Structure 1
Amino acid sequence: MANTFSLILVIVTLVTGLVWTLEKLVWGKKRQQKVADVEAQTNGIDDAVAAKVAQQPWWIENSVSIFPVIAFVLVLRSFIFEPFQIPSGSMMPTLLVGDFILVEKYAYGIKDPVWRTQLVETGKPERGDTVVFKYPPQPNIDYIKRVVGMPGDTVRYSSDKEVCIQPKGERSCTPVKLSNVVESEFIQNGIPLVQLDEQLSEQGHQILINPLRRDRVEAYQPRGGVNEWIVPQGQYFVMGDNRDNSADSRYWGFVPEANLVGKAVAIWISFEFERSADSVLPAWIPTGVRFNRIGGLH
């Protein structure tokens, strides 16, 4: 859907841009010359007649009006920032359902908006980044997860739900630091989740663990039952912050660099959708705004 919208946006921009250019360079000048010719033949015409002769056809007028707006939207959305809505709880507590985020499109390279060919290299993901990417098994879907494993890393995820990372060239696996274990406000299937601080990067972030749920090791990819992954070059191992409620690299594999869309940097608005079972309002209508969630991400 996102690629279809990008293609439509590019086509509309090209068409209106062509009309805008022809109007400025050709058609507008022809109409002005027509006004001048009429004035020369009639020894002058009043303003109403001149305006009627010089009037733009409706389709030219509309194209000239919307082209600057459409072009601005195209540049902003394709190369600078793009808004995304969080549809699931896989990144709780960092991101909640109803959060609307801004994704920095130029963080990992400037790409054309349709075929996503990289035009300019601007940077690479860092461990701990929250990234939006094209879901590898189905690239028309956008996913959001956190980068855990870098190219060349060996990543292990223990039965105690702890991440251990062995960077390329190092001999030992270093457990990711966890601290501040508390019971969270989030409940899933009647079970309160445990919240911890995880230190993948200097800034750190929070994750959620279901203490009573066993990880589905048998569903791991590419080797069922094996909790170790060696990250190929040019690819990344990603996980959701809500570790027991996230379909991530453990279950479908690595994220190629070409699939990266950008880095999630901020929440610009956050809506609540909490309502009673007997509410007559459609599910998509917000019930409130979480102003306290607006701001930068980490």
Structure 2
Amino acid sequence: MKDPWLAVNLSLFFPGLGQLYATNFIRGIILIILQSLLIGTGLWSVFSPEGDVASGLIYLAIAIGVYIFNLFDALLLIYYQAPEVYQERIPRKVKNPWFAVAISRILPGLGHFYANQSVLGLILMTTSLISLRLQVFYWPLLILSPLIAAIAAYHAYISFSRTAKRTLISLMAGAIFFVGLLINYIPKGIDQRLAMFILPSQSMHPTLETGDRIFVGKDQNYQPQRQDVIVFHPSEELKELDQNPADYYTKRIIGLPGETVTIEGGIVYINGTPLVEDYLAENPDYEFKSPVIPANQYFVLGDNRNDSFDSHIWGMLPRENIYGKAYKIYWPLQRVRSLLNTD
């Protein structure tokens, strides 16, 4: 006989799996496809340069709703096959080890409280909460929380019957560990590829406004190009002129190695050729002529030319100071747009 709480445990991994277990194959496949599309489209909309963040958040919110619906649906699909047998949707009188597994996955220790093992439950719960806190500061500890969840789920199950067959719960515990590990490392993987910054000033107005939040790609093979918007660490020359330098600055690359930059009559010239710029707040009211830009250095300016602390004041930016390329405003929603140069 199928167990409704085993169905819930399967659906906790991904919508549709519990429905497949309940032999409702059409609904299970529909849920798997729907959830995959919602998550994929939502993440693309949020993180891709051209994606609409508001739409992405809506897709992800719907995905959360589908996930919750799927849990109740998986439970009830099997429960209503024989309600007189299962008697309780939430097993209180007759304890169900798969219910203990499910709540142990939500918070390790809860399954042991359900099994009347309060001391062990408190130990597991405390250990789990501490590990969640520690892994924020030391990423190798990301392995701990899924490991504790897997151990808690396994032990909660066998607490009800030492003679029960352990093949299925062993597979379940292994899946809980590996899926939990994957989920824990996804943010770490994202963090290795992009960063999020908040603009502190108007130096990039009108392209970027104070308070804009931007995605910045972190690519070790990034080759800076003219008119890229970049985030960088302050150079030594910048630090000498600013007594309280910020940790990061945002400007636009104008001059590349081997070029000269001249600013005259409100126009920027690269090797004597005027640069077309349609992103300026106003033309610069100063004049400037650079020497030939050395190898592995760049000339950067703010789009708000007359209110920007940039290369025309403190000089060239070394390549090693560039943190990454800004590619999208993701917040506030009314200002979401790509920052990529499509010319």
TM normalised by structure 2 equals 0.46
Question: In the alignment, does 2:189 pair up with 1:147?
Answer: no
Structure 2 equivalent of residue 165 of structure 1:
270
How far has the Cα of 1:65 moved from its partner? 9.8
Structure 1 equivalent of residue 209 of structure 2:
96
> 2 CA distance for matches of 1:66 and 1:98?
34
Structure 1 equivalent of residue 107 of structure 2:
none
> 1 CA distance for matches of 2:322 and 2:153?
46
Q: 1:16 aligns with which of 118, 142, 146?
A: 142
> 1 CA distance for matches of 2:303 and 2:247?
19
> 2 CA distance for matches of 1:94 and 1:84?
15
Give 2:223's aligned amino acid: K
Larger Rg computed on CA atoms: 2
Could you say if the C-alpha distance between residues 261 and 10 of structure 1 is closer, same or farther in structure 2, counting changes exceeding 3 Å? farther
What do residues 202-251 of structure 1 show as CA deviations (whole Å, max 9, x unaligned)? Answer: xxx3212377xx53x7xxxxxxxx73232111121100011110001122
Structure 2 equivalent of residue 202 of structure 1:
none
How far has the Cα of 1:103 moved from its partner? 1.6
How far has the Cα of 1:28 moved from its partner? 6.6
RMSD: 3.8
1:239–1:250 contact (8 Å) kept in structure 2: yes
1:16–1:66 contact (8 Å) kept in structure 2: no
What do residues 229-281 of structure 1 show as CA deviations (whole Å, max 9, x unaligned)? Answer: 321111211000111100011222222222222222222122xxxxxxxxxxx
Structure 2 equivalent of residue 229 of structure 1:
291
Give 1:209's aligned amino acid: E
Structure 2 equivalent of residue 175 of structure 1:
274
Structure 2 equivalent of residue 85 of structure 1:
198
> 2 CA distance for matches of 1:89 and 1:152?
30
Could you say if the C-alpha distance between residues 9 and 240 of structure 1 is closer, same or farther in structure 2, counting changes exceeding 3 Å? farther
Structure 1 equivalent of residue 315 of structure 2:
253
TM normalised by structure 1 equals 0.53
How far has the Cα of 1:9 moved from its partner? 7.2
Pairing 1:17-32 to 2, within 5 Å after superposition: 17-18=143-144, 20=146, 31=155
Could you say if the C-alpha distance between residues 237 and 70 of structure 1 is closer, same or farther in structure 2, counting changes exceeding 3 Å? farther
Could you say if the C-alpha distance between residues 67 and 39 of structure 1 is closer, same or farther in structure 2, counting changes exceeding 3 Å? closer
Q: 2:231 aligns with which of 132, 139, 143?
A: 132
Structure 2 equivalent of residue 220 of structure 1:
none
What do residues 23-47 of structure 1 show as CA deviations (whole Å, max 9, x unaligned)? Answer: 76xx6799589859x836xxx8xxx
Aligned residues: 191
Could you say if the C-alpha distance between residues 134 and 67 of structure 1 is closer, same or farther in structure 2, counting changes exceeding 3 Å? farther
Give 2:247's aligned amino acid: I
Could you say if the C-alpha distance between residues 128 and 13 of structure 1 is closer, same or farther in structure 2, counting changes exceeding 3 Å? same
How far has the Cα of 1:102 moved from its partner? 1.7
Question: In the alignment, does 2:162 pair up with 1:39?
Answer: yes
How far has the Cα of 1:94 moved from its partner? 0.9
Q: 2:336 aligns with which of 287, 294, 297?
A: 294
> 2 CA distance for matches of 1:91 and 1:140?
15
- Name structure 1 gaps, 5 residues minimum: 1-7, 45-55, 57-62, 110-120, 167-172, 178-197, 199-204, 218-225, 271-288
Could you say if the C-alpha distance between residues 157 and 70 of structure 1 is closer, same or farther in structure 2, counting changes exceeding 3 Å? farther
> 2 CA distance for matches of 1:9 and 1:252?
40
> 2 CA distance for matches of 1:11 and 1:235?
34
Structure 1 equivalent of residue 40 of structure 2:
none
Could you say if the C-alpha distance between residues 68 and 30 of structure 1 is closer, same or farther in structure 2, counting changes exceeding 3 Å? closer
1:156–1:228 contact (8 Å) kept in structure 2: yes
Could you say if the C-alpha distance between residues 9 and 104 of structure 1 is closer, same or farther in structure 2, counting changes exceeding 3 Å? farther
Question: In the alignment, does 2:328 pair up with 1:266?
Answer: yes
Between 1 and 2, higher relative CO (CA 8 Å, sep ≥ 6) is seen in: 1
Give 1:131's aligned amino acid: I
1:164–1:176 contact (8 Å) kept in structure 2: yes
More helix by share: 2
How far has the Cα of 1:10 moved from its partner? 7.4
Could you say if the C-alpha distance between residues 152 and 18 of structure 1 is closer, same or farther in structure 2, counting changes exceeding 3 Å? farther
- Name structure 2 gaps, 5 residues minimum: 1-133, 165-172, 240-244
Could you say if the C-alpha distance between residues 132 and 35 of structure 1 is closer, same or farther in structure 2, counting changes exceeding 3 Å? same
> 2 CA distance for matches of 1:31 and 1:105?
42
